[in-house]
Structure 1
Amino acid sequence: MAPAWPSRPRSGGGARREVLGFAAAGLAAYAADLALFVWLRGPLGVGPIAAKTLSFLAGCTVAYLGNALGTYRRRAVSLREYGVFFAVNAAGAAVQLLCLAVSHHGLGLTSASADTVSGLGVGMVLATCLRFWGTRTLVFRTPSPQEEAHTPWTG
């Protein structure tokens, strides 16, 4: 029986395009998240938690659309994928928060620069690796022949 792992491009060019496409979608999502957060907090005066929640949802949507319409456009897309994509991104956010909490509360590194390094440096790198793995493995995976027979449409 064949393993349940999705097949991946064998050539270096395919993998490079995948990483670059994922990075481009991520940068667009980050820009949308940041811009919306700043706009909500500044001119609109929305509280920080509500503003971050809304900007996070917008960023997830931009990243999903960038990956669904760009990076992984040749794979089947459905509403299920958006739910899994959101869960993968929420797990990435949890990794960033965990890195910040361990550094700030566990190790006692409480300066603003230490928080930046742990949350936006180390946390972002680990979260991005998790998001890349989750996006290609769980969200836009290549279906098995059995799954493909039951897929209503393909990209």
Structure 2
Amino acid sequence: MAVVESVLARVPEPLRSVLIKHRELLKFAIVGGTTFLVDNGIWYLLKLTVLLDKPTTAKAIAIIVATIVSYVLNREWSFRTRGGRETRHEAALFFIISGVAVVVNLVPLYASRYVFDLQRPHVSLFVQETADFVSGSIIGMLLAMVFRFWGFRKWVFPDELGHRRREDEEPLAQQAERPA
């Protein structure tokens, strides 16, 4: 039994039924949390060292690395029962959607720094860093996440092409139908 299934088997009803129904979204959110840590770890490492004066460039590099991690985890876990395209085609669509999402993610950070001028010397270092985190890692990431989930489900891993390991998903769905 997979990790998610063993955890879901311990969750009481009616929450279990809701989580099973939205299992794909739950997995996508877990992958998102993982890539959030990758993204922010790399961003702050670059931003506080080699790219001190270029926070948007540091964020873009961090997003690209996190996107590669996201592709592997989403393809092999979140959307494993979907898709079915040739790997190159699927990867190309994934990175196109992710490329648009990078722009969506960077817009709030760019606006914070260069439109609202929330950077030194106009504000304190604390305000600058707080504004960077809120705009780049909260607002930008949430907007990009919504766009990615929609785009991945619609174009990259469409359900009508799904055939991979769908039989793995059926036993747990049958458990959800049984009374607790």
Tell me the TM-score normalized by structure 2: 0.58
Structure 2 gaps, min length 5 = 1-16, 120-126, 165-180
CA deviation vs aligned residue, 1:95-122 (integer Å, no higher than 9, x gap): 1211122232223333412222222221
Contact 2:40 2:137 in 1 (8 A): no
Q: Provide closer, same or farther for how the CA distance between residues 131 and 117 of structure 1 changes in structure 2, counting only shifts above 3 A.
A: same
- 2:33 paired residue among 27, 34, 48: 27
Offset at 1:26? 2.1
User: Letter of the aligned partner of 2:34 in structure 1?
Assistant: A
Counterpart mapping for 1:110-129 below 5 A: 110=119, 111-112=127-128, 113-129=130-146
Which protein has the larger Cα radius of gyration, Structure 1 or Structure 2?
2
**What secondary structure sits across from 1:108 in the alignment?**
coil
* Alpha-carbon distance in structure 2 between the residues aligned to 1:56 and 1:83: 17
Q: Provide closer, same or farther for how the CA distance between residues 29 and 95 of structure 1 changes in structure 2, counting only shifts above 3 A.
A: same
Q: Provide closer, same or farther for how the CA distance between residues 53 and 13 of structure 1 changes in structure 2, counting only shifts above 3 A.
A: closer
CA deviation vs aligned residue, 1:66-95 (integer Å, no higher than 9, x gap): 111112111214221111111222222211
* Alpha-carbon distance in structure 2 between the residues aligned to 1:106 and 1:69: 40
- 2:93 paired residue among 84, 94, 112: 84
* Alpha-carbon distance in structure 2 between the residues aligned to 1:37 and 1:21: 24
RMSD of Structure 2 on Structure 1 (CA)? 3.3
Offset at 1:25? 1.8
Is residue 65 from structure 1 mapped to residue 68 from structure 2 by the alignment? no
Equivalence for 1:16: 22
Structure 1 gaps, min length 5 = 1-10
Tell me the TM-score normalized by structure 1: 0.66
Equivalence for 1:7: none
User: Letter of the aligned partner of 1:80 in structure 2?
Assistant: H
User: Letter of the aligned partner of 2:71 in structure 1?
Assistant: Y
Q: Provide closer, same or farther for how the CA distance between residues 134 and 97 of structure 1 changes in structure 2, counting only shifts above 3 A.
A: same
Equivalence for 1:8: none
Offset at 1:22? 0.5
Sequence identity (%)? 30
Equivalence for 1:109: 118
